[in-house]
Amino acid sequence: MFFVIAALFAPVLLKKLFPMPHLEIVKKHAADNKLKVTLVYSVMKTESGFRTEAVSPKGAVGLMQITENTGRWIADKLGDRDYDCEDLKKPEINIKYGCWYLSYLLEQFEGNNELALAAYNAGEGTVRRWIDENAIEWRGPEIKSVPYPETERYLMRVNRIYFVYKTLYPEMDSW
C-alpha cells in the first residue's frame, strides 16, 4: 500500500523540487532559439537555482548566470542598444540572453549538447582549446572528463537535472 501511495505522489513531489518558474518567458525564448524548454530549465536550475538576484563569485548574474561582458556581447549581437548590466537581473532579459547564448553555442559545436554545455560553463574558447588538444575524454556521446573538474561536475549536474525535467515534463522536451 505504501508503495502505491508513494508512486502516486512522487510526480507531484518531484514537480515541487523541479518547478518551471517564468514558464511563458522560457517557452517564448526557447522556441525563438529552437531549444528544448527542459534543457533551458536544466541550465537555469543548475546555474542559479531559479534565483533572479544570484551573482556568482565570477560575476555571472541572474537566472542563467550571464557575465557582464557576455551580456554586453549578446546585446550587441541582438542589437539591444539600451543594454545595461542591471538588466541581467530581469527574468525576461536574462532568459532571452541565456537562451540565445545556449543556441549560439549549440550552433558553434554543431548541435553537440555536451560541448555546448561545457562551453556555457567554461567558455567557448576553452572548449575549443580542449578539442584541439584532445583533452576531452568521451564515454559514447557524453563527455567523461575535461581538464576543469568544475566543468565536469557542471555537466553531470545539468545532465541529471535534464533527465528529471524531460521525465516529469515530456511535453516540454521538444521545440
pLDDT at 9 over 70: no
- pLDDT value of residue 7: 55
pLDDT value at residue 174 = 81
Question: Model confidence over 30-47: pLDDT tens digits?
Answer: 999 999 999 999 999 999
pTM: 0.93
* Annotated catalytic residue 47: yes
Q: What is the pLDDT of residue 5?
A: 52
Catalytic residue, candidates 24, 47, 133, 142: 47
Question: pLDDT of 93-120, one tens digit each?
Answer: 999 999 999 999 999 999 999 999 999 9
The one-letter code for the residue type at 91 is: P
Q: Please report where in the chains the cell 517564468 appears, as a residue.
A: 22
11: confidence class by pLDDT, cuts 50, 70, 90: confident
**Ordered structural domains, the chain, with CATH:** 21-172 (1.10.530.10)
Say whether pLDDT at 2 is over 90.
Answer: no
pLDDT recorded at residue 75: 98
Res 146: pLDDT: 97
Which pLDDT does position 145 carry in this prediction? Answer: 95
